[in-house]
């Protein structure tokens, strides 16, 4: 039995523990959990729709601008709120935005890698997906026909619909593995500049590829802080005020996750497992929630 199925049964115990811990730390105000999705396969769009319907019956979704207002201390929440994000820039993101997010009135942040958007040749797209996005963890033949990149017109459409666009580097490189300052500059600074020129909107959000604590380092973080207002990770956790703008936590969600496991995540049942990594990320920013 996979962990996410087993963990659902521990939900009451873990959430009770977290509530007691939060009470003792006087953290009784509402926070924001940010859901992280990637490619949504065509044959699982119905599952994605059901998942969002389930979540929307229990929690309220906020917009990217509302989240930024929360981070900046412009308003607070009395209960848990949710924000949706998508990484990488797959074509399926526009499809779910049209068919699912729009009818539900949900606005999301789409983090895209500009080199992926620029690829027109299908074979080059497949190589980028297997080598860059999945880091050789899937075979070339596993890349399905619906795993195409968004186009610039797709991104313009998303912006017109009220969604936000953020940078996910140029080539989806692991930033901690880059020793060259020029390469780091290209991945971090230039990617945002390209998006701004093409879309003619401010690009203030950045999400570093792979999202784990070992995929970011001090050199990369310093450049991110120079160019962007907010940096999103892939480290689990709820975001409570005051939020560190460069250590924003997100929860990676699988479309196949059972409802009990989803609720375990939403109710902070897994946060304790990632606490040390969260602290390391905050320490890396060196701004102490400023």
pTM score, two decimals? Answer: 0.91
pLDDT score recorded for residue 102: 96
DSSP characters for the chain?
--HHHHHGGGHHHHHHHHHHHHHHTT--S--EEEEEE----GGGHHHHHHHHHHHHHHSEE--HHHHHHHHTTS---SS-EEEEEEEE-BTHHHHHIIIIIHHHT--EEEEE-HHHHH--SHHHHHHIIIIIISTT-S-GGG--TT-PBPPHHHHHHHHHTT-EEEE--SS---GGG---HHHHHIIIIIHHHHHHHHH-S---EEE-TT-SGGG--HHHHHHHHHH-SEEE-S----B-SSPPTT-B--EE--TT--HHHHHHHHTTTTGGGGHHHHHHHHHHHTSTT-
Look up residue 36 and give its two tokens.
Answer: 């992280």
CATH 3.20.20.370 is right for the domain spanning 3-282: yes
pLDDT tens, residue by residue, 141-190: 889 988 999 999 999 999 999 999 999 999 999 999 999 999 999 999 99
Higher per-residue confidence, 9 vs 217: 217
Distance, first Cα to last Cα, the chain: 43
Residue 9's pLDDT is 53
**Residue 224 CB: number of other CB atoms within 10 A?**
24
**Where residue 288 falls among pLDDT bands split at 50, 70, 90?**
very low
3-state secondary structure 133-182: HCCCCCCHHHCCCCCCECCHHHHHHHHHCCCEEEECCCCCCCHHHCCCHH
In tens, the pLDDT along 16-64 reads: 555 554 544 445 568 999 999 999 999 999 999 999 999 999 999 999 9
Domains of the chain, by residue range, sit at 3-282
């Amino acid at each position: 039995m996979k962990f996410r199925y087993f963990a659902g049964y521990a939900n009451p115990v873990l959430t009770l523990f977290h509530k007691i811990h939060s009470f003792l730390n006087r953290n009784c105000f509402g926070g924001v959990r940010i859901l992280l999705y990637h490619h949504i396969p065509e044959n699982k769009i119905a599952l994605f729709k059901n998942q969002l319907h389930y979540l929307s019956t229990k929690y309220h979704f906020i917009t990217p601008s509302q989240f930024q207002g929360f981070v900046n201390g412009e308003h607070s929440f009395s209960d848990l709120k949710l924000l949706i994000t998508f990484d990488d820039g797959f074509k399926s993101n526009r499809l779910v935005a049209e068919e699912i997010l729009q009818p539900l009135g949900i606005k999301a942040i789409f983090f895209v890698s500009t080199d992926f958007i620029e690829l027109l040749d299908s074979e080059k797209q497949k190589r980028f997906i297997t080598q860059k996005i999945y880091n050789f963890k899937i075979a070339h033949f596993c890349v399905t026909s619906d795993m195409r990149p968004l186009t610039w017109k797709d991104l313009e459409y998303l912006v017109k619909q009220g969604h936000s666009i953020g940078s996910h580097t140029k080539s989806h490189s692991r930033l901690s593995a880059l020793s060259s300052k020029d390469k780091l500059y290209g991945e971090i600074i230039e990617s945002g500049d390209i998006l701004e020129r093409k879309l003619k909107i401010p690009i203030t959000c950045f999400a570093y590829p792979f999202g784990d604590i070992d995929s970011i380092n001090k050199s990369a973080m310093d450049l991110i802080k120079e160019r962007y207002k907010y940096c999103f990770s892939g480290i689990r956790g709820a975001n409570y005020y005051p939020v560190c703008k460069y250590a924003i936590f997100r929860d990676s969600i699988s479309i196949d996750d059972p409802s009990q496991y989803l609720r375990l995540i939403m109710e902070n049942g897994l946060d304790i497992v990632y606490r040390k990594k969260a602290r390391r990320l905050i320490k890396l920013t060196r701004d102490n929630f400023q």
